[in-house]
Every structure is written in structure tokens, then in C-alpha cells.
Amino acid sequence: MAGTKVDGQAIGIDLGTTYSCVAVWQPRHDRAEIMANDQGNRTTPSCVAFTGAWRLIGDAAMNEAAMNPVNTVFDVKRLIGRRFSDVSVQGDMKLWPFKVISGPGGRPRIVVQCRGEEKYFAAEEISSMVLFKMRETAETYLGKKVKNAVITVPVYFNDSQRQATIDAGAIAGLNVMRILNEPSAAAIAYGLGRMQDTGEVKTVLIFDFGGGTLDISVIDIDNEFFTVKATSGDTHLGGEDLNNRMVEHFVQDFLKKHKIDIGNNTRALMRLKTACERAKRMLSSTAQTKFEMDSLQDGIDYYGGITRARFEELNMDIFRKCIEHVEKCLNDAKMDKSQIHDVVLVGGSSRIPKVQQLLVDFFNGKKLCKSINPDEAVAYGAAVQAAILNGDYNQKVQDLVLVDVTPLSLGIEVVGGFMRVVIPRTTTIPSRKERFYTTEYDNQTSADINVYEGEGELIKDNNLLGKFTLDGIPPAPRLVPDINVTFEIDANCILKVSAQDMATGNKNSITIISDKGGLSKEEIERMVQDAKKYKSEDKKQINKIKKEKEEGWVSKENFERIVQISDKYQVRGQEANEGNKEGKLGG
């Protein structure tokens, strides 16, 4: 797994739904180090705010959220790589204060007011701003430029979401060396100091419950070999859902007390959301908590309070769903709960006492492993993986081998609306598999290759990833032609599908990104050039402000706000190309 040494250090980035974290492997210290941002915090809010003159990222953006909610963008990880028409996107839009519209190719676009004009941003661009902030944090800490990075994603991110994350890294000026599953990164962080050549395999269950996603993985650790046995999870289940439940609870409480519905007051909702997140954290250490908010609506002060018992009641279905995924993961691994040596907690939401209690009960009183920092473990593991790929390693990590798996089955549509699996779920990656198919009709000269992921027998129960057409098949009776379909999935879980007519050698292929709305190379290059251009302009503006500050023209508060400026991006769209259907394959 060791890579070739390249210029500069490589960093590991945990690009989270609510918070992000960056780390780097330090050979002289024999460990990875988490790098603090300019506010001294080891995690940075995945938040971007736009004002009349500036753009703020991270902690500064969070401070802007209550005053300027419609131009403060967060939870963008729940948009990246998705369609505007997706059920989850439509549901989230009702809860966000910022505006989301359908853009070119049916991709979501975020609408904000910036510098006196309306701007449209793709989810990849907002994510790239957060990644740029993490890159900037690393460069400040290391005192040199950083180019290479490993970025983590949830296990159940599909190909489109993974490719969109790579695109976001490219816009931020990063060479994304690897997309790494979050539980696998956490397993590296857990197992690195525990690797011993005893001949005994240790099986751990990584329970990663973060701000926006739930990821479960069962992983065997055999000295330097980390083998993923099974995965489960939900890309739309996390701490944000708990916050939203609390917000709805207090909206109803305000309505009951004051006969006023604040559901359409974005500023009030954003203030309430911030208070609810703070209350949720407090309830992990206290039995109840209270908060007060001045002039929440129409000059009315609001005093809210909630007990841990009420919080658990509001969210019990979510907590139970977490345990269902744990059970599913064990079933897929064909293992009994008694065979798990350690249950490792990762992600901020794993601190919730009720979640921990349910896990202890499920594992028959087993003590949970809390020896790694749940907020930093994923970034730590990503930094180790980055050092290996970069060739910047020592004896401690050079032999580490991570064997990951596909979370969902991959296959194609055949006659009758059925899906024929080519790569089964939990297949180790990288992987390459071939299957032979034939034609549906007499004299059929082209075939439509529709690629799906999922576990249903019928394609209507699965998710369409992409499609392409194989032309030039010589006319022949049905069932005579031989068509070889090849699936190749790389270490980033990016899928390439090709089909070849064995009689003529005619071939066509697709990398599963464009049909779900990935950015073209030209779009990315234009965005990168825009970033360089505006970075230069921002630098001139910051130098001007510094000079004015020295002359006493700018307040300290405004100056601190101004220096948060980063790159400026202009969104561009690409229409999705739809293939023409000429005929399906026969299985």
C-alpha cells in the first residue's frame, strides 16, 4: 500500500456534515497531529456565510448564522452529488434557511446574496471552500504549501457523491490521492497503536454516528492488515436530525405558549437551532438544560427547557434505527455479537448517553471503547493513509494494508426489468469482474447498458447510476451475439463499466459520474482559474485593509471579520446528456 514519495506532505481531511478536521502524519513524532485553525479550534464548522462584502468560512461563518441565516450555508454534504428531485433534498430544503433551486441537469444550486448581487453555487463549490479552509489551516501549521490529501466520505456515499467530493478537492487546489471510507479511517486510528504480531485476529465494530451520517463497519485487524468484513449505515441520519426534532418541539412549544407560529421566521429558527445544538451537547452531561432567547419573535422573549428523558423520547426512533444498522452489519458479516472484541465509538453524536446505553444493552453489557477522540479519529486515520500513499512513512505505518469492500451490489438491467449483479455487496476493492450477455431482439444492432446499485431483484427497487449505448452489433438472431460487460471499481469506489461485442471488438464505456451530475473537466478548470484570480484580488484587498487598520480607519472587530476572506467562485452548469434506448440486454 506504500506509495511513491512526492513533493510536500500529504494531509488527511475529515470533511464532515457539521464539522471538519485536518491532520498530518509527523514521522519525527511517530504519530498524526490534528492541526488547529486560526481560532485555536481542532475542528472547524463546515459552514460558509456570504455578506454584503465578504465571504466567511468556519467559525466566523457560524457567528454570522443568527444574523444572516439566508446567506449562511451549512449541511452541504447532504446536497453533494445528489439530484434536486431527490426525496432527501426536498425534505432538507424545508428546514434550511438558505435557498436551493434546480440548476442545469437537475443538480441543486444554492442561491445567496454576495457583494450586492445574486450568486449561484454548486454543492461542490461550497464544499471546496471548506476544503480550502482546511488546506489553509494545514499550510499555516506546517509553514509550507500543501497539495496532496486523502478525504474521507461515508461508506454509503455512491459513485456520484464520491466523484463530487473529488471535484470539490480539485477546485480547492488539492490533489485528492484517495477517497477513504470514514469507519475505515477510524479503524486505522484505533488499530495503529495496537498492531501486534500475535497471530490473533481482533474484530472491531466501528460505530460512527456524526452530524449528518451513520456508518457502521465490522473490521478484522490482523497485525498490519485491516480487512473490512461488512458495512451498513445511512447517509442521512445524524446529529442534525436530532437538532431538527428539538427545533420542531420548541416551535410547537412557542406556538402553544404565545399563539404565534415562528416556522417561517428564518432568523428565529436559526437562533433556535443554535440553542438546540448547545442544549443537545449539555444533555450528554446533565439531566436537564435551559436556555433563554431575547426577542425571538415580535419582541417576545422565549425561555426553553428540556430534560434528557424528553430528548430521548423525541428521538427514540432514530436511536433504534442506529441499532438496527448495527444488527444488519453483523448479519452481513455473518458474525454473532459475541465475536466482536471492541465496539469503537466515533463521531460527536456517539457521545449521547442513550445511544451508548442501547449499544451496551445490544452487546450484552460489553464495555464500549472510548480510547480515541470521536471528533478527530477519522482525520487521524486519513492522515496515516495519506502518509502511506505519499511515501512519507516510517516502519510503524509502512506495512499497513487496508482492504475495503463495496457497500452495495452493482449490476445492469436485463430483459424484464431485472437487475443482474456483476459485483456483489461486500466484494473487496479494488475489483474487476466480467459477465457475458446477449441481445433481446433479432437483428438488434445496439444495446443500452443501464448500471444500477442496490439489493432488489427488480431495477425499480434500485438506484440508477448511469447508462451508455453499445453500437455496431452485427445483425443476428436474438441470443446469438456475445457481449462482454466489465465492471471495474477502484480504491476510491469509483466505478467504470465497459461493454464489448466479441464478434467485432466494438467497445464503449462509462465512468459513473456524468449521469448523476458531476462537473466536467472544463468546469473544474474554469473554477480553479477563478479561484486563483480572486485569491490574488482578495490578497490585495486584505493588504489594503491592514494598512487602513494601522492608520486607525478600521475597527478591530471588522478587521478580524475581513481576514476570513478566501477564494471567490462563479458557478457554471452542465446539461446532463441522456442516452437513447435502442434495446436491453438478455441475461
* Residue 102: strand pairing partners: 108
Q: Look up residue 363 and give its DSSP letter.
A: T
Contact between 213 and 235 (Cβ < 8 Å): yes
- What is the distance between the alpha carbons of residues 453 and 235, in angstroms, rounded to a whole number? 15
Instruction: Write the CB contacts of 330 (distance below 8 Å, at least 6 apart in sequence).
Output: 205, 218, 230, 336, 337, 340
User: From the CB of residue 543, how many other CB atoms can be counted at a distance below 10 Å?
Assistant: 10
Q: Find, among 90, 347, 91, the residue nearest to 212 by Cα.
A: 347
Q: Is 14 a catalytic residue?
A: yes
* Residue 45: strand pairing partners: 19
CA distances from 84 to 89, 95, 217, 464 (A): 6, 15, 29, 15
Contact between 75 and 240 (Cβ < 8 Å): yes
- Set of cell numbers at residue 226: 485491516
* Residue 73: strand pairing partners: 48
- Set of cell numbers at residue 28: 519525527
- What is the distance between the alpha carbons of residues 426 and 440, in angstroms, rounded to a whole number? 31
Q: Residue 280: enclosing H or E segment and its boundaries?
A: helix 266-282
- Set of cell numbers at residue 43: 475542528
Pairing of strands 10-14, 148-153: parallel
Q: Residue 152: enclosing H or E segment and its boundaries?
A: strand 148-153
Task: Choose, from 59, 64, 75, 77, the residue flagged as catalytic.
Answer: 77
Task: Choose, from 208, 215, 342, 413, the residue flagged as catalytic.
Answer: 208
Question: How far is C-alpha 582 from the geometric centre of its chain's CA atoms?
Answer: 36
Q: Is 546 a catalytic residue?
A: no
Q: Is 7 a catalytic residue?
A: no
Task: Choose, from 92, 167, 182, 241, the residue flagged as catalytic.
Answer: 182
Q: Residue 527: enclosing H or E segment and its boundaries?
A: helix 521-550
Q: Is 124 a catalytic residue?
A: no
Question: How far is C-alpha 179 from the geometric centre of its chain's CA atoms?
Answer: 10
Region of residue 12 (phi > 0: left; psi between -120 and 50: alpha; otherwise: beta): beta
Catalytic (active-site) positions: 14, 77, 182, 208
